[in-house]
Amino acid sequence: MKNFILMILLLFTQLGLAGDPVLGKAKAEQVCVTCHGLDGVGIDDTYPKLAGQYADYMEHALKDYRSGARKNAIMAGFAATLTDEDIANVAAYYSTLKENRLTDLTIK
């Protein structure tokens, strides 16, 4: 019984840490859509595809832009406006778009 309660608690903690894709979509509509599109494909090849990307990868990338560990003038500005919660949410949203996931890695 004790283990069961611990497991439930652990489950809720895990859920609490994961971003909310619905809130993430709202944020993406306001900010990221101009370059990455709402579908996460990006308006042209200049912008990396986010659709179906692993959420933890995107969270890491966004935090690195925000801290300056990863340098890019454009993304630094946008990442600076995001809270940890926003980052978890947008990452959760784009990671759900599996149908647009980058699968063809052929160099053209």
Tell me if 51 contacts ligand HEC by CB under 6 A: no
CB of 99 to ligand HEC, least distance (A): 18
Nearest Cα to 67, choosing from 56, 79, 55? 79
Toward ligand HEC, which CB reaches closer, 50 or 97? 50
Rounded to the nearest angstrom, the gap between the alpha carbon of residue 69 and the centroid of all alpha carbons in its chain is: 17
3-class SS at 15? helix
Q: How many helices (H) and strands (E) does the chain have?
A: 6, 0
Nearer to ligand HEC, 11 or 74 (CB): 74
Q: Contact region for ligand HEC (CB under 6 A) — 3-11, 14-22, 46-54, 100-108?
A: 46-54
As to burial, measured by CB atoms within 10 angstroms (0-12 exposed, 13-18 middle, 19+ buried), residue 38 is middle
Residues binding ligand HEC: number (CB under 6 A): 18
Name the site residues for ligand HEC (rule: CB under 6 A). Answer: 31-32, 34-36, 46-48, 50, 58, 61-62, 72, 74-75, 78, 82, 90
